[in-house]
Structure 1
Amino acid sequence: MFGISIYLSENNDFETTIERASEKGFSLIFSSLHIPEEDPAHYSHLLTRLGNAAKAHKMQLILDISAESLAHLDLTIDQADQISKLGVTGLRVDYGLNIAEIAKLATKIKVYLNASTINKTFLDALLQAGVDISQVEAFHNYYPKPHTGLDIPFFKQTNDFLHQYGLKIAAFVPGNGEKRQPLYAGLPTLEKHRDIHPFAAALELKTLGIDHIYIGDPSLQPSTTDQFQAFQQNSTLLLDCQLDNDLDPQIQQHLLSPDNNRMDPARDLIRLEKSRLALANLNIPAIPSRACPTGSIMIDNALFGRYQGEITIALRNLPAESKSNIIGQLDPAAIQILPFIQPGQIIQLRLHTKK
């Protein structure tokens, strides 16, 4: 599942943000009660607004807390479950709570633990304390400061360990709209994702064992939100591209319609399995060939015989091929998505006009 992050500030119109996110298929909200840049005096009424919006759109609301931050709501850790009345469905506890307190809390509300810091000793102690593991999940941090995000080997090892205990795991990717203060440098869990397209980063997190993926920053560009929506609906990957201006209308119509990567995926190419049959009536003459960089969109011409009409996308830099015409190019952000295309994956190209 995909989620957004909402930060409790007076000038944040999060009701509108939540409504739009819900319409696009996002079902999770992350928020925090200990953000240094925010005024805790406003937490109570802002959290009431946030909880009401989450309930109105049937979205889960996970709140990052500590014993100190709960005090801003006039609550102690023993009363933390009362926060569920505001629409909060889970509490992420990072520090200031011992095993007995966490075990007790888990009997009242779902508890999310810091995925990067819990270990076998801690989890075994929780189980010994009688905690219902189905009431516990793991939640990685985001890292605002550049060069402080996690590396993949540690991340994957941690996730493999947590899954052995049956825990679901959440993590963050950065946004590509409004960036979060005070550094405005993105809020990823993995350092390599700091400057990567959010949707490509989310697809990589899925391959690394992440169950729930949140946008750490306040917003996404609308075109990126549409990519998350399409994937959530039926696993479609929207890939932005530029196409030749003089392209045959029938070829362009097929290019901009959903197709599938073949179930027997090629090493070097995405092969759109419906294209050859759909374009069988065309005679496609050869044009002068040139080298095919990664992301090149190609169609096999008459020189390829029975393969004429097959549309392919280069997964790596390829040499010139006289039997294939280059007819377009994926945008750089779409190229970042290529490594995560699965056999049989639904793919839909989306036209971006050259500026």
Structure 2
Amino acid sequence: MFGISVYLSENNEFETTIEKAAKNNFSLIFSSLHIPEENPTNYKHLLTRLANAAMKNNMQLILDISAKSLEYLDLDIQHADQLTNLGVAGLRVDYGLSTLEIAELSTKIKVFLNASTINQPFLEALLQAGVDITQVEAFHNYYPKPHTGLDTLFFKQTNDFLHEYGLKIAAFVPGDGILRQPLFEGLPTLEKHRTCHPFLAALELESLGVDHVYIGDPALRNETTQQFAAYAKDGTIMLDCVLTEMLAPELVKQLHSTDRNRMDPARDLIRLENSRPALSHFEIQPTSKNTRPVGTITVDNVLFGRYQGEICITCKDLPVDLKSNNIGCLTKQAILLLPFIKPGQSVKLHPIIQE
């Protein structure tokens, strides 16, 4: 599942943000009660607004807390579960709580632990303390300061360890719209993702064992939001592309249709499964444009016999083939998504206007 991050400030119109996110298939919200840049005296009022917006849009609200931050809500850790009355679905706890306090809290509300600092002795101590492990998940940090994000190998090893205990895992990718103060350097979990496209980063997190991906920064560009929305809805990966001009209407119609990679995936190509049947009665003549660098969109012509009409995307540089017409290409960013297209994966080409 995908989530957004909402930060509590009086001038944040987060009701609109949450409504838009819900319409685009985001289902989770992360917020924090200990952000140094915010005024904690308004937390109770703002949290009520935030929780109401979450419930109205059927989104789960996960709140980052500490013993100190709870004081601003006139609560302590023994009564933190009262936040469920506001509509809070879970609490992320990091420091200042004992294993006994965490274990007791897990019997009342879902608890999210700092994934990067959990080790086996700590988990065993929690189990000894009577923690309800079915109510516990792991949640990595984001890292505002450049060069402080996690290393990929450590991240993967940590996730593998946590999965052995049956814990689900959450992590952050940066946004590509409005970035978070005070550094405005993105809010990723992995350092390699600091300047990475958010959707590409999200797919990589999934491949590294992450169950829930949150956007750390406050906003995404509309085009990026559409990519997340399509993937969250039915697993469709949208690929921005530029198409050759003067293509036949039947071919253009098929190129705009959602298709899927074949279940028996080729090593060198994404083969769009429905293209050949859809274009079987349409005679495709050879053209003089037959180069096939990585990311090329091709359609097989009459010289390919019964394969005529099959639309493919090259996953590597391939030699010229007179039997395949070059009819477009993916953008550089979309090419990076090709390794994440699985067998049977739904794919939708998204033609853009070149500037």
Worse-superposed segment, 8-17 or 144-153:
144-153
Give the secondary structure class of the aligned counterpart of 2:148. coil
Q: Are the counterparts in 2 of residues 289 and 321 from structure 1 also a CA contact under 8 Å?
A: no
Give the gaps of 5 or more residues in structure 2: none
Q: Distance in 1 between matches of 2:284 and 2:290?
A: 17
Q: Which residue is 1:204 aligned to?
A: 204
Q: Which residue is 1:160 aligned to?
A: 160
> How far did residue 289 of structure 1 move?
4.1
Sort the Cα spacing of 1:290 and 1:279 in 2 relative to 1 into closer, same or farther, 3 A: closer
1:312 equivalent in alignment to 2:346: no
Q: Which residue is 2:44 aligned to?
A: 44
Q: How does 1:113-262 map to 2 (within 5 A)?
A: 113-262=113-262
Give the secondary structure class of the aligned counterpart of 2:80. helix
> How far did residue 305 of structure 1 move?
2.2
Q: Distance in 2 between matches of 1:289 and 1:225?
A: 34
What's the CA shift string for 1:211-269, capped at 9, x where partnerless? 11111111111222222222222111111111011111111110110111111101111
Q: Are the counterparts in 2 of residues 238 and 350 from structure 1 also a CA contact under 8 Å?
A: yes
Worse-superposed segment, 3-12 or 73-82:
73-82
> How far did residue 42 of structure 1 move?
1.6
Q: Which residue is 1:323 aligned to?
A: 323
Q: Which residue is 2:303 aligned to?
A: 303
What's the CA shift string for 1:175-213, capped at 9, x where partnerless? 111111111121111122222221121112111111111
Q: Are the counterparts in 1 of residues 160 and 209 from structure 2 also a CA contact under 8 Å?
A: yes
Q: Are the counterparts in 2 of residues 197 and 336 from structure 1 also a CA contact under 8 Å?
A: no
Give the secondary structure class of the aligned counterpart of 2:88. coil
Give the secondary structure class of the aligned counterpart of 2:116. coil
Q: Which residue is 2:266 aligned to?
A: 266
> How far did residue 290 of structure 1 move?
5.1
Letter in 2 for 1:8: L
Q: Distance in 1 between matches of 2:286 and 2:209?
A: 45
Give the secondary structure class of the aligned counterpart of 1:312. strand
Letter in 2 for 1:294: V
Q: Which residue is 1:353 aligned to?
A: 353
Give the secondary structure class of the aligned counterpart of 2:101. helix
1:336 equivalent in alignment to 2:318: no
Give the secondary structure class of the aligned counterpart of 1:89. strand
Q: Which residue is 2:10 aligned to?
A: 10
What's the CA shift string for 1:147-201, capped at 9, x where partnerless? 2211221111111111111111111111111111111121111122222221121
Letter in 1 for 2:350: R
Q: Distance in 1 between matches of 2:21 and 2:181?
A: 21
Q: Distance in 1 between matches of 2:342 and 2:208?
A: 15
What's the CA shift string for 1:273-323, capped at 9, x where partnerless? 111121122222222245422211111122222222111101112222222
1:110 equivalent in alignment to 2:99: no
Letter in 1 for 2:43: Y
Q: Distance in 2 between matches of 1:79 and 1:120?
A: 28
Q: Give the TM-score normalised by structure 1.
A: 0.97
Q: Are the counterparts in 2 of residues 241 and 330 from structure 1 also a CA contact under 8 Å?
A: yes
Q: Are the counterparts in 2 of residues 178 and 219 from structure 1 also a CA contact under 8 Å?
A: yes
Q: Distance in 2 between matches of 1:245 and 1:252?
A: 10
Letter in 2 for 1:54: A
Give the secondary structure class of the aligned counterpart of 2:298. strand
Worse-superposed segment, 224-233 or 167-176:
224-233
Q: Distance in 1 between matches of 2:43 and 2:33?
A: 7
Give the secondary structure class of the aligned counterpart of 2:285. coil
Letter in 1 for 2:118: I
| RMSD value, Cα | 1.3
Q: Which residue is 1:286 aligned to?
A: 286
The number of aligned residues is: 355
Matched-pair identity in %: 66
Q: Are the counterparts in 1 of residues 291 and 326 from structure 2 also a CA contact under 8 Å?
A: no
Give the secondary structure class of the aligned counterpart of 2:160. helix
Q: How does 1:70-109 map to 2 (within 5 A)?
A: 70-109=70-109
Give the secondary structure class of the aligned counterpart of 1:218. coil
Give the gaps of 5 or more residues in structure 1: none
Q: Distance in 1 between matches of 2:43 and 2:299?
A: 57
Give the secondary structure class of the aligned counterpart of 1:16. helix
Q: Distance in 2 between matches of 1:322 and 1:195?
A: 39
1:20 equivalent in alignment to 2:35: no
Q: Are the counterparts in 2 of residues 294 and 314 from structure 1 also a CA contact under 8 Å?
A: yes
Q: Distance in 2 between matches of 1:118 and 1:57?
A: 33
Q: Distance in 1 between matches of 2:130 and 2:244?
A: 64
What's the CA shift string for 1:2-43, capped at 9, x where partnerless? 111000011110011111111111111000011111111121
Q: Give the TM-score normalised by structure 2.
A: 0.97
Give the secondary structure class of the aligned counterpart of 1:64. strand
